[in-house]
Chains A and B, each alone.
Chain A
């Protein structure tokens, strides 16, 4: 008796101009236009946004948690990428 379910969509909202769209949650909808309206009605009831992205969940490619170490740990020792790594003599400003 289980009926076929409407596809799942992920919703991303830009809360104000100048900021990135951010993932806020998901919903079900049959097509993009309806997903957009549903996102507006569900996730923007309190002036949360100025722009909406919706994308079908099945279209997202995500990294595998078991790859976490090989993907992200190698960046750990590259401390010279950060400005705090470098010595600047006292008295030198605006650098």
Chain B
């Protein structure tokens, strides 16, 4: 959104006293709901947190293309093929918007991509699960996009201007993603016995990983408190997870599907759905690279990058020969 070169006008380092004043003024702006823009002074930690979060978010969009992309060539009707193509394309677009937002903080896309490909950067671990039948495409839209929306809507109000603007665009475009997923689930749940089995199977495999998407419980989350002070984050992981469960469970019951959680029960007093304990050891394993598709996903991204290298080199070489068309 703005070049990295533009970004660093102020290269001198403030002294400790001045720094303290700057931090105070910065927090005052945040508290007053003012947006922070790329060239404004910001604490290093704020910048680092944002680069980490936005680039992880961008990586997730890009890696997230793979499980769904797995079914584009096998979509069961031309209408579904077009919808899925458009949706996966949106994800590439959203990755681009997000990389752009992160680039305003002084990190180039190339650096971020290198971090992803070398395994240094993380992406949402949900995409390390496989898509085994067509109902998985429904379940991803309904559950994974549903969970993502819960996370993303508050980000539209994030204190960092470029991130918040990118998220407004992302949320607007994603509004059809969850619905198309639920529509697939509806058709499958009301279809033949075989389709119904696929729908139930998909729900069983995607339910718990979707709940893990909100991240560890607040008491175990390293970043929550500071991010909330900086208004990068607006709600805690547990708040968002509960909200997701509350809206999603009735949608599943409406389809006559069963959630794989014997402890799932409506608390009449609070109106919330109570759910069983999340297996965080699985989450940790997937995060550490031991999920069913971690290696595959990374290999797919690395291969695309390597096989595209000669194309990108050709572009630069051509542009250099024809400086006038720049």
Contact = CB atoms under 8 A, between A and B. Distances in A.
B110 A62 contact: no
B101 to A, nearest CB: 8
Given A60-B2, A62-B39, A5 B110 contact: yes
A2 B108 CA distance: 11
B1 interface: yes
B222 interface: no
Interface string A22-44: 01011110111110000000100
A20 interface: no
B6 A60 contact: yes
Interface in B280-325: 309, 312-313, 315-316, 318-319, 322, 325
B37 A65 contact: yes
A6 B312 contact: yes
B315 A27 contact: no
A25 B326 contact: no
A60 B318 CA distance: 24
A66 B111 CA distance: 29
B89 to A, nearest CB: 8
Contact of A58 (B3, B315, B316): B3
A4 B100 contact: no
Contacts of B34: none
Interface residues of B, number: 37
Contact of A26 (B5, B9, B103, B173): B103
Given A5-B110, A30-B315, A25 B2 contact: no
Contacts of B108: 5
Interface in B108-146: 108-111, 114
Contact of A3 (B3, B90, B169, B312): B312
A32 B78 CA distance: 35
Interface string B33-62: 000010111000000000000000000000
Contacts of B3: 8, 57-58, 60
Contacts of A45: 89-90, 93
Contact of A27 (B10, B96, B312): B96
A26 B1 contact: yes
Contact of B6 (A5, A34, A57): A57
A81 interface: no
Contacts of A25: 1, 96-97, 100, 166, 169
A65 B1 contact: no
Contacts of B93: 42, 45
Nearest to A63: B39
Given A5-B108, A57-B6, A31 B37 contact: no
Contacts of B316: 4, 6, 30
Contact of B110 (A3, A10, A58, A60): A3
Contacts of B89: 45
Interface string B1-25: 1111110011000000000000000
A6 to B, nearest CB: 6
Interface of B: 1-6, 9-10, 37, 39-41, 89-90, 93, 96-97, 100, 103, 108-111, 114, 166, 169, 173, 309, 312-313, 315-316, 318-319, 322, 325-326
Given A10-B1, A58-B3, 8 more contacts: A7-B326, A26-B100, A30-B318, A31-B315, A31-B319, A45-B89, A57-B5, A62-B6
